[in-house]
Structure 1
Amino acid sequence: MELEEIQYTWGQMSLELEKQKRLSKKIILEMMHQKYKNKFSRLLKFELMGALICFVFSGLILYNFSRLDTWYLWVCGIFTLLILLVMPIITLMAIQQIKSLDILNISNKDALIKYTKTKSYLLAIQQFGAYASFPVFLTSMPVMSKILKNKDFFSVSKDIWFYVMIVLFGVGLYFFIKWGIGCYKRITNSAEEILKELDEY
């Protein structure tokens, strides 16, 4: 009788231990999933602030669009609006897509494949946005000159300091963009490491 009781107790302890292992594994996986999502939550907040600035700027241009009274100001205004309105929306959608990948309910191999595709798409959008920043910077100057000062940017004489400021701003923009793309790469690489760690569980 004592042997049967010992065997029964041992069996119960084994079952409890197995339950604890499964529960611990589930908790660890959920924590890693949350850690993965948090990486993109911070990125999403940053991009939402940027999108808000773009939309306010776009609203200002749209409200005053009738003041752009030449064909070249129209071209500058339309190009600036397109980039300012379309790029933030595409970027936010791409971040939301990568953030909401269901990495717990699919195999790790499938999760990595889907992640790699979504990561490549997100980084491609960022690079396009980076390249588009320079022409938008140039096209927004004549638009804002007309809207804020009612002056035709192309017919106003400019001194050497104007060109110095343009070059300095362009250099600053280049380093800011480089820093931003670097942040995206660090975050996406770090999230990929989390997915690879999941393979151990």
Structure 2
Amino acid sequence: MEWDELQATWNRMSEELEAQKKLTNSIVMEMARTKYKNKFNKISHYEKLGTVVCFGAALGIILNFSALDTWYLKLCGILSLGFLIIMPILVLAALKQIQELDIFNQTYSEILRRYTKSKTRLLRLQQISITLSFAMLFLIVPITAKIFNDQDIFSMSFKPSQWIGFVLVFVGMLFFSRWGYKSYQRITASAALLLEDLK
């Protein structure tokens, strides 16, 4: 009788230990998922703020589109609208895809494959966005000059102070773009290290 009681106690303890192990694994996975999502929260907030700014600028162009009275100013306006509306949506969608990667119901190799694909897409979109933002600088200057000052900069010469201002904005954009892209690289590398711990 003692042997049966001992065996039953042992079996019960084994079951409790197994249940505790499953609970611990579940808690660890939940913490990993929370940490993973939090990696992208800060950058996601910046992108959402940037989207609001882009949509506001697009709305400003739409409301004042009639002021763009030449074909080349209208072309600048249309290209600017395309960039200001499409790029933020693509970047936010890529961020959401990488942020909501399911790390519970897949094998490690599948998680890694999907993460790598999402990371590559996000970083490529950032590269495209940075490149196009420099092109946008050449589109937005004529639009704002026409809307706010009723000046067609294509038919006037720049003063030295205007060239200096333009160069300063360009250099500032270079530094800001470099900082932003490095932030994306750092965050995606950090998230990859977190995923490696799930092996």
1:63 to partner: Cα distance:
0.5
1:73 aligned partner? 73
Equivalent in the alignment of 1:20? 20
SS at match of 1:154: helix
CA RMSD after TM alignment:
1.1
Q: Counterpart of 1:74 in structure 2: which amino acid?
A: K
Partners of 1:47 and 1:112 in 2: CA distance: 24
Deviation of 1:27 after TM superposition, in Å, equals: 0.6
CA distance in 1 between counterparts of 2:48 and 2:153 reads 31
Q: Which runs of 5+ in 1 are unaligned?
A: none
- Does 2:5 correspond to 1:5? yes
Alignment gaps of 5+ in structure 2: none
State the partner residue of 2:38: 38
**Paired residues for 1:1-201 under 5 Å:** 1-199=1-199
Give percent identity, aligned residues only: 44
* Shift in Å, 1:10: 1.9
Deviation at 1:3, TM superposition (A): 2.9
| 1:142 positional shift | 0.5
**Could you tell me the TM-score, scaled by structure 2's length?**
0.96
Shift of 1:4: 2.5
CA distance in 2, matches of 1:40, 1:175: 22
CA distance in 2, matches of 1:163, 1:42: 35
Amino acid at match of 1:67: A
SS of aligned partner of 2:153: coil
Paired with 1:151 and 1:192, the residues of 2 have a C-alpha distance of 50
Report the AA paired with residue 163 of structure 1: W
Give the Å deviation of 1:152.
1.1
Which amino acid counterpart does residue 26 of structure 2 have in structure 1? K
Structure 1 residues 30-52: Cα deviation after superposition (integer angstroms, max 9, x where no partner) = 11011111222222211110000
Q: Secondary structure at the match of 2:158?
A: coil
Matched residue count: 199
